[in-house]
Every structure is written in structure tokens, then in C-alpha cells.
Amino acid sequence: MLYAVLCYASEDAICSWTKEQDEEVMRNLFVVQEKYAKAGKLGPVARLLPTTAATTLRKVKGEPLVLDGPFAETKEQLLGFYTIDVADLEEAVAFAKELSDANPSGGSYEIRPVGVFSPVAPTI
């Protein structure tokens, strides 16, 4: 089953890390990623740039409006995501737990099944 693991944390906390702290976290996360990649279960992974670089297209009525920023009303922001192809939700939760253990920022990991709406099969 294909799952998206969405990574949320306080952007202010993450952006305050030193270069060394950030590199250490990335090394720790790579250990988790490498295990799933070698098993052929890891798909695309993305670390998003800060929300200050975001643009939002919003359409309530009429024409779409393009705005600077995501305007999220939350304390945590979406910082990145993983795509994994695992047997079931239990294995997806285990992956998210490993990511959580590797990342000192806390935050949360939202796990959602992915429906593929493409005539081309996903390549993971």
C-alpha cells in the first residue's frame, strides 16, 4: 500500500538550528531512509523550504487569487513528506516512529494512504 508521511513541526524551532544541528538531524533521518530505500519501499522524499517562500492560490468565489505565504493558522507547519510503499498501516506507523526517534524537534507525522490518479503506474 502506498502511503504519504507528512512531517509537521514548528518552523521557527527548525529554522533556529545551527548548520551543525541541522546536518546531524539530516544524518539521523538518512539512516531511517536508507533502510527503507534498500528494501525498495521508499519513494520521493521532499524537504520544503520555509513558508515565507510559499505562494497560495485560493478560490472562494469567482476568480482565483494568488497570495504570498500559506497563511496556516497553526503552530506547526508542513515541513516535508515521504512516500513509502509498505504492506500496511502498521508498517507505515513503524516508519514514522523511526523518523520521530531520529528527529529531536518533536512535531508530528501524519500518515495518509495515497490514491494514484494517473494513467502511469507510480515508480518507487
Which comes out higher in pLDDT, residue 1 or 59? 1
C-alpha neighbours within 13 Å on the C-beta side of residue 38:
6
Give residue-wise pLDDT tens across range 102-118.
988 777 899 999 986 76
Does residue 123 lie in a domain region? no
User: How many domains does the chain divide into?
Assistant: 1
Using CA of residue 85, residue 102, residue 108, residue 69, what is the dihedral sign? negative
pLDDT band at 44, cuts 50/70/90? very high
- The domain that holds 44 is classified in CATH as 3.30.70.1060
What percentage of the chain has pLDDT greater than the value 70? Answer: 89
Q: What is the rounded (10 degree) CA torsion for 32, 33, 35, 36?
A: 120
Average pLDDT over residues 69-84: 79
Give residue-wise pLDDT tens across range 77-106.
889 999 999 999 999 999 999 999 998 877
Domain containing 33 equals 2-113
Does residue 32 lie in a domain region? yes
Does residue 119 lie in a domain region? no
Query: DSSP character for 121?
Result: P
